[in-house]
Amino acid sequence: NAGVTQTPKFQVLKTGQSMTLQCAQDMNHEYMSWYRQDPGMGLRLIHYSVGAGITDQGEVPNGYNVSRSTTEDFPLRLLSAAPSQTSVYFCASSIGAGVMDEQYFGPGTRLTVT
Amino acid sequence: GQQVMQIPQYQHVQEGEDFTTYCNSSTTLSNIQWYKQRPGGHPVFLIQLVKSGEVKKQKRLTFQFGEAKKNSSLHITATQTTDVGTYFCAGRTNDYKLSFGAGTTVTVRA
């Protein structure tokens, strides 16, 4: 199993550009989520999904869209990049969203917006 | 804002010494998880605590969950250079969302 994969590893965007961060998992996990990590802020939840066709907002959803058409994939779209979106983005998955579900994280995407 | 607070933000430890990082929530948690992130890496799950007053050990690491299920701690004894990294707690306050603390970044002096 590859676990949770993310592409690209690094990306530089100009303000106003759009792009999609890819996330895939091969563990048949129902729950997937996106976090951003900024210095001193920990991991903040952007969007999450409890299964194919179901998504919901997290703590910091503005400027981001998600969809979940399959169990395996959970792409994150930046609609119009802003310098405030410079961050490290992590995708995570778990079997479910219950009490006993550990999160498996991908390797991350380092995004710089100039 | 962040529902789970974690202190200290930084911990500089002499090799061989002990240290503790603390996690506090303003609301009752259904569980708390701990993760470790090595420099340049991604968070990796360490442990989960569910029961009030629960204590779990992993070698030199001791994890505790408070009686009121609003706080937790991670205590590391005899710190080694392999303990370098950032330790995060993450509290689940409802069925679908984890709220992460800001993390404690640990450096070790040999």
Q: B96, A56: Cβ pair inside 8 Å? A: yes
Segment holding B14, helix H or strand E:
strand B10-14
With a cut of 90, say whether residue A70 has pLDDT above it. yes
For residues B79 and A18, what is the distance between their CA atoms, to the nearest angstrom?
A: 45
Instruction: Give the three-state DSSP class for B46.
Output: strand
For residues A66 and A105, what is the distance between their CA atoms, to the nearest angstrom?
A: 17
Number of Cβ atoms within 10 Å of the Cβ of B3:
16
Compare all CA atoms of chain A with the CA of B101 and give the residue at the minimum distance: A42
SS3 for chain A, per residue?
CCCEEEECCEEEECCCCCEEEEEEECCCCCEEEEEEEECCCEEEEEEEEEECCEEEECCCCCCEEECCCCCCECCEEECCCCHHHCEEEEEEEECCCCCCCCCEECCCEEEEEC
Query: How would you write the pLDDT of chain B (110 residues) with one tens digit per residue?
Result: 458 999 999 999 999 999 999 999 999 998 999 999 999 999 999 999 999 999 999 999 999 999 999 999 999 999 999 999 999 999 987 667 889 999 999 999 98
CA distances from B45 to A22, A56, A83 (A): 22, 24, 30
With a cut of 90, say whether residue A104 has pLDDT above it. yes
Considering CB atoms only, which of A45, A56, A102 is closest to B33? A102
* pLDDT for the residue B3: 83
Mean pLDDT value across chain A = 94
In A, what residues contact B, Cβ < 8 A?
Answer: 31, 33, 35, 40-45, 48, 50, 56, 58-59, 90, 92, 97-100, 102-108
* pLDDT for the residue B39: 93
Considering CB atoms only, which of B33, B42, B100 is closest to A42? B100
For residues A31 and A92, what is the distance between their CA atoms, to the nearest angstrom?
A: 8
For residues B100 and B34, what is the distance between their CA atoms, to the nearest angstrom?
A: 9
Q: A90, B9: Cβ pair inside 8 Å? A: no
Q: B102, A98: Cβ pair inside 8 Å? A: no
Q: What is the rounded average pLDDT of the residues A72-79?
A: 97
With a cut of 90, say whether residue A40 has pLDDT above it. no
Q: Chain B window 39-98: which residues touch A at a Cβ cutoff of 8 Å?
A: 41-45, 48, 50, 88, 90, 92, 95-98
Out of A57-71, A91-105, B8-22, B35-49, least confident range = A91-105
Q: Which residue has the higher pLDDT, A2 or A61?
A: A61
Q: B100, A35: Cβ pair inside 8 Å? A: yes
Q: Shortest Cα distance from A80 to chain B (angstroms)?
A: 24
For residues A33 and A90, what is the distance between their CA atoms, to the nearest angstrom?
A: 8
* pLDDT for the residue A3: 95
* pLDDT for the residue A100: 62
Q: Shortest Cα distance from A32 to chain B (angstroms)?
A: 10
Q: B100, A44: Cβ pair inside 8 Å? A: yes
Q: A45, B99: Cβ pair inside 8 Å? A: yes
pLDDT tier at A96, thresholds 50, 70, 90: confident
Compare all CA atoms of chain B with the CA of A96 and give the residue at the minimum distance: B96
